[in-house]
Amino acid sequence: MAFIHSYLAIQKIRFEDKIEIDTRIDKTVMEEEVPFMLLHTLVENAVQHGSQLESNRNLLRLTIEKSTRQLEIVLTNQACKKKGHAGFGIGLEVSKKRLHHLYGREDLLTSHTSADGVYTTRLTIPIRGNDV
């Protein structure tokens, strides 16, 4: 999480008032493990494709909560509406493949854009010791 906070601090300097960052992290999750660089990939994806690339203000919100069997990580941001803005589409696909390889499941990472233009990425990580 220290790495994520540092990365977001740099992005805040880069985009100044165009990006607002809100992290809501349950203190009980700090002992849990997340596959290496997976969370950073998702946060970087939100920054790279967010509306701050246009003139809009973008609220990037990262929420991490823990239930008895899993971590729930939700990342939201305002999607870029500019035509022609697209990435290579590799970040999320590689992350999905990694999760499938690690946990044998294909439902752990989902993303969608709502009608009001909010892009939501939801990551579920089974907590060690539980059936996956």
Q: What is the pLDDT of residue 65?
A: 96
Tokens read off for 114: 């709502």
Mean pLDDT of the chain: 87
Domain ranges of the chain: 2-126
Say which CATH architecture domain 2-126 belongs to: 2-Layer Sandwich (3.30)
pLDDT in tens, 51-85: 676 766 889 999 999 988 899 999 999 887 776 55
Banded model confidence at residue 47, pLDDT cuts 50, 70, 90: confident
- The whole-number average pLDDT for the span 28-57 is 85
Which contiguous run of DSSP H or E holds residue 47?
A: helix 38-48
- The whole-number average pLDDT for the span 8-30 is 91
CA–CA dist 80, 75 (Å, integer): 15
pTM across the whole model:
0.86
CA–CA dist 97, 5 (Å, integer): 26
Percentage above 90 pLDDT, the chain: 52
Q: What is the pLDDT of residue 90?
A: 83
Which contiguous run of DSSP H or E holds residue 77?
A: strand 70-78
Question: In the chain, what is the straight-line distance between the N-terminal and C-terminal CA atoms, in Å?
Answer: 24
- The whole-number average pLDDT for the span 1-6 is 92
CA–CA dist 49, 119 (Å, integer): 10
